[in-house]
Structure 1
Amino acid sequence: MARAALVTGAARGIGRALALGLAERGFDVAVHYRSSRAEAREVAAAVRRTGRRAVTVSGDLTDPAQARAAVEAAARGLGGLAVVVNNVGDYLFKPIEDVDPEEWRGVLTSNLDTAFFVTQAALPYLLAEGWGRVLFLGYAGAGQLVAKPQITPYFIAKTGVVLYAKALAARLAPHGVTVNVVAPGVAENSVTQPVREIPMGRVARLDELVEAVGYFVSPAADYVTGQVLEVAGGWNV
């Protein structure tokens, strides 16, 4: 029986690529969306064309009740849950002195709180499986105590994700559940693309991010937890 995966924000972009990549690796997939219903249904249809099962689940994951409901719908629709990929998160490129309180809260909540709400709701299902994978989409360089004056709330949120992931990894390791972070730098769909700052001279392809997630959900990574894998071409090293 195929194991089931939930990918948040899977209607487009990186989330879409990850949902399809997991299907190609034999996982049934719950495609989460907030408002992009038509696109989510298209992704689910593409998953089914690989021979895997798919359901769509909706919800504003910044609301803990809706996050729990989305997780429960995914588990109910697929008969359990073994993999959670936390992909949702807003990005803001703006000088820190110009960021208003609503923007500040929005970036932190959409990146950090959603990861907490979704993962906490999913833990009983992962533990019941006796095997599980929690993945977070981070940000290359997050965790370094350096100034990022144009993306301060985003950088803080992604640093929080790393710390949360490591705490979870330590707690869940005895239960067969690994927790890791895939940290993109500048991807082909990124809002800003400072290619000149990247040592390899190009942006990351979405398939390269899929391969990183694919590694962590594979048997090859059974003994790997609490790690951050940067897919960034040397950016922010």
Structure 2
Amino acid sequence: MMNDVADSTDVAGTVALVTGGSRGIGAAIARKLASHGAAVALTYVQAAEQAKEVVAQIEAGGGRAIAIQADLTLPDAAVQAVEQTVRDLGGLDILVNNAGFLTYGPLDEVTETELDRVLAVDVRSVFLASQAAARHMREGGRVISIGSCFNGHVPAENFVLQAMAKSALVGLTKGLARELGSRGITATVVDPGPIDTDMNPEDGDSADFQRSLTALGRYGAAEDIANAVAYLAGPGGRYITGTALAVDGGYTV
């Protein structure tokens, strides 16, 4: 699998699972991987119609896709999503841990319930999905987690929970790289900067501030993150592991 680097993003014949793939960055990743030849499973919590639309778009382009309802705050949901992907699509080669919350607010206002929810989805489900996926992956497998520019730079107050949760992915990824490297499986993180999605629109209340923190002075698009994931998932990423790739417009410069 993935021995020819002539096309750095060719993932034909592989199976991918994208968590949180019904909208925004996750949907862009699912469509991108499918356009490069992967069969794709994507998870959603409540956005069933949006998930069905992404599946329909992939199928209209000649690809193969399924949508899986998975509430990743539940301990067994990530594992069940992996197992359903393997069962319905015939294996698993690429795991993209994309699901997560965009959380901000003063430290004193973070509740225990909010803390538990963020850690359950942004950290615990990533670990459990990666653990389950590794049992099925062959040589050339990929574990790619979507982090945050807060992994390298926290520019203001109110982001302590987000920074903590996303930074945990860096340590997890380094551990996975060592654990799985002998099997030819890579593990990486993609750290987006400000990306125009419904969760963080480029015309939102804090958009001007976020733009001012980037070297390019603008928001990125979900497609920018999808392109980076496609590269890491394909032959181009075969010698990249245990590291984070910033796709942030110079946010952390």
Q: Does 1:159 align with 2:170?
A: no
Q: Does 1:221 align with 2:232?
A: no
Correspondence for 1:110 = 121
Shift, 1:3, TM fit: 0.7
Identity of aligned residues (%): 35
Deviating above 4 A after TM superposition, structure 1's stretches of 4 or more consecutive aligned residues are none
Amino acid at match of 2:19: T
Amino acid at match of 1:175: R
Q: Does 1:134 align with 2:134?
A: no
Query: Which of 11, 33, 42 is the aligned partner of 2:44?
Result: 33
Correspondence for 1:98 = 109
Scaled by the length of structure 1, what TM-score is found? 0.94
- Is residue 108–residue 156 contact of structure 1 (8 Å, CA) maintained in 2? no
- When the two structures are aligned, how many residues end up with a matched partner? 234
- Is residue 140–residue 238 contact of structure 2 (8 Å, CA) maintained in 1? no
Three-state SS of the structure 1 residue aligned to 2:241 is: coil
Three-state SS of the structure 2 residue aligned to 1:125 is: coil
Scaled by the length of structure 2, what TM-score is found? 0.88
Three-state SS of the structure 1 residue aligned to 2:76 is: helix
Shift, 1:143, TM fit: 5.1
Q: Following the alignment from structure 2 to structure 1, what is the Cα–Cα distance between the partners of residues 127 and 152?
A: 18
Q: Following the alignment from structure 1 to structure 2, what is the Cα–Cα distance between the partners of residues 69 and 100?
A: 28
Note the residue ranges of structure 1 that are not aligned, 5 or more in a row.
Answer: none
Q: RMSD value over aligned CA atoms?
A: 1.6
Which is bigger in relative contact order (C-alpha 8 A, separation at least 6)? 2
Amino acid at match of 1:137: I
Note the residue ranges of structure 2 that are not aligned, 5 or more in a row.
Answer: 1-11, 201-205
Shift, 1:58, TM fit: 1.4
Correspondence for 2:69 = 58
Q: Following the alignment from structure 2 to structure 1, what is the Cα–Cα distance between the partners of residues 222 and 47?
A: 20
Three-state SS of the structure 2 residue aligned to 1:64 is: coil
Q: Following the alignment from structure 2 to structure 1, what is the Cα–Cα distance between the partners of residues 17 and 162?
A: 23
Correspondence for 1:236 = 252
Q: Following the alignment from structure 1 to structure 2, what is the Cα–Cα distance between the partners of residues 50 and 7?
A: 18
Query: Which of 68, 79, 94 is the aligned partner of 2:79?
Result: 68
